[in-house]
Amino acid sequence: MWVTQLSYKEFSGFLTGLGSQIGPTPLCTLRKLFGEIFMKFVTSFFLAVSMLFSTSAIAKPLNIDVSEFTLKNGMKVVVIPAHRAPVVTHMVWYKVGAADEENRKSGIAHFLEHLMFKGTKNRPQADFSKIIARNGGQDNAFTHQDYTGYYQRISKDRLEMVMSMEADRMQNLVITDKDIATERDVVKEERRTRTDNKPGTLFNEQLNAALYTASPYGIPIIGWMSEVAKLTRADAEAFYKKYYTPSNAILVVAGDVTPEQVLALAKKHYGVLKNTANPGPRVRTQEPNPIAARRVIMRDKRVASPYVTRLYLAPSILHAKKSEAEALDLLADVLGRGSTSRLYKQFVIKEKVAVDVGVWYSGSYMDSGSFGFYAVPLPGASVAALEKKLDAFIAETLKTGITQKELDRARRVMKAETVYTLDSQNSLANVFGRALVGNRTVESILSYPDRLDAVTLKDVKQAAAKVLKIERSVTGYLLNDKSK
């Protein structure tokens, strides 16, 4: 099971297990683990994917055909034909995530995701994944702050089988006390392994808690250990009954199918399900306008490469003004995505004060987003001194802005990466699913290239001035016992 918060800066966490509230792991560490050639592939791939997730980006040159339907019980169905291979990607997205949990129940969304692989009234053996594997398919699930998703990738002639099984566990899940005890221990061990034993993940958990002082985004997806340990069968059953209902779900099928085929199967298997509850509007505490800068300094002897991170509270795509989200994404590309970016060329190549740097915009969340920087100093060098240089770099950016040439190049790169990445059935299902479950529309996805084209230098400078204010920030040092 995945606990995921995907953005460009978080692909390192994806590779190391998708710990809760994952943040940036310096790329120099990953290069040591995976090698330079592989890292070039990974960086390129996740840059494209993150750009899609954080901006709902789909390129019109792909001529993507998308069909939408709504079943009588309110469940939405989205079909994206892709006939290159005789396979399908079947995904069910629930409009509930960790940010929708009740107080003192942190981790229940992720906990239920684990329990969804247990038995049902019709399949008590709890062999969902085994059946998928025996039929040559793959399956998994993921929990995010804003949604929970389940997917299968399988031969197209097994689509009805998959729909039958997924519809079954949407309504007929059986949770026993034994299941609760077993999976609660599994989740606790997952937290120990993927969060508590990883200084970088613990550090980012603290950064998020400091950035989001009121919003539930400050609570880790996997939950606080003290609360996870107290989750009960009643908690899980109540959460399941309230949120795992057809009207709160979106079915996305991409692959070698036609809309008519998928709709017929969806009516047969999902359309007959009755709603178990009305989840109601998603009312959450919104993060107030920040008035004071915050700092987090964490020391851990296990840290191999100390670094500094700066996070700014930023508007999400849903709440950003016209062109604002796109401007922030383009700004991040110019400043710190890759070895041709401003920050890399200045800090790593020219001044040689850092071994790695990065900049990202994460705007895919429903409520708030973030804009961030990180920099890894040379071995033995001062993190505080590097922060001062970062402050000067940001100040200069705010003063002078970026050039038309830089803006045009970033636009071309981002649009090209969109086309390349969406040359994949699985990516299509993911992009549309993540966008639609976050209250965006198909049209908003398809119009992304046009919105990129509309961004001006003035838009970028105004977005930067609005977001890159020190009072909106959290600055963090991740240090070891020898750090200066």
Query: β-strands 76-81, 249-255: how paired?
Result: parallel
The verdict on whether 351 is a catalytic residue reads: no
Is-contact 113 92, C-beta < 8 A? no
The CA R_g of the chain, rounded to the nearest whole Å, is 22
33: which residues sit within 8 A by CB, 6+ positions away?
none
Kindly name the residue from 113, 183, 324, 326 that is annotated as catalytic. Answer: 113
Among candidate residues 105, 131, 54, 110, the one with its CA nearest the CA of residue 332:
54
Classify 110 as helix, strand or coil: helix
Is-contact 223 20, C-beta < 8 A? yes
Rounded CA separation 407/55 (Å): 17
Is-contact 375 27, C-beta < 8 A? no
Classify 70 as helix, strand or coil: strand
Rounded CA separation 268/251 (Å): 13
Is-contact 106 227, C-beta < 8 A? yes
Task: Name residue, tokens 């963090």.
Answer: 476
Active-site annotation, residues: 113
